[in-house]
């Protein structure tokens, strides 16, 4: 079984959607779930990437069912399909 590695110096990056407010009601989007977590090792150091999905906090809003992802993540999904 593989053992998890620990790194001394890690840079953390979060990819967030371009939209910060709900397009339906205008409320601020909240982080709802983590789409992916990745560790990228480069010559410059170790980077931990987190792609989060955001939703409208109002459950009665039409935008609540729609998860917003970063633009990088959306274009990457299209390329895989």
CB burial of residue 28 (10 Å; 0-12, 13-18, 19+): exposed
Residue 14 lies in a domain: yes
Is 4 inside any structural domain?
no
Which residue range forms the structural domain that includes residue 64? 10-80
Residue 56's pLDDT is what?
92
Distance between CA atoms of residues 5 and 26, nearest Å: 42
- Give this prediction's pTM: 0.68
pLDDT tens-digit map of 15-72? 888 888 998 899 999 998 888 888 888 898 999 988 888 999 999 998 888 888 877 6
Residue 29 lies in a domain: yes
pLDDT of residue 72: 62
Assess if residue 20 is contained within a domain: yes
Pairing of strands 45-55, 30-42: antiparallel
Does 15 fall in a domain?
Answer: yes
When divided into structural domains, the chain yields a total of: 1
To which residue do tokens 């909240």 refer? 30
Structural domain includes residue 73: yes
| pLDDT tens, residue by residue, 41-53 | 889 899 998 888 8
pLDDT score for 77: 47
pLDDT value at 74 more than 80: no
């Amino acid at each position: 079984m593989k053992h998890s590695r620990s790194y001394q110096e890690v840079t953390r990056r979060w990819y967030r959607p371009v939209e910060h407010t709900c397009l339906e009601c205008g409320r601020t989007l909240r982080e709802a779930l983590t789409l992916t977590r990745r560790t990228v090792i480069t010559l410059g150091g170790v980077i931990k990437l987190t792609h989060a999905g955001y939703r409208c906090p109002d459950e009665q809003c039409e935008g609540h069912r729609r998860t917003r992802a970063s633009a990088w993540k959306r274009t990457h999904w299209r390329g895989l399909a």
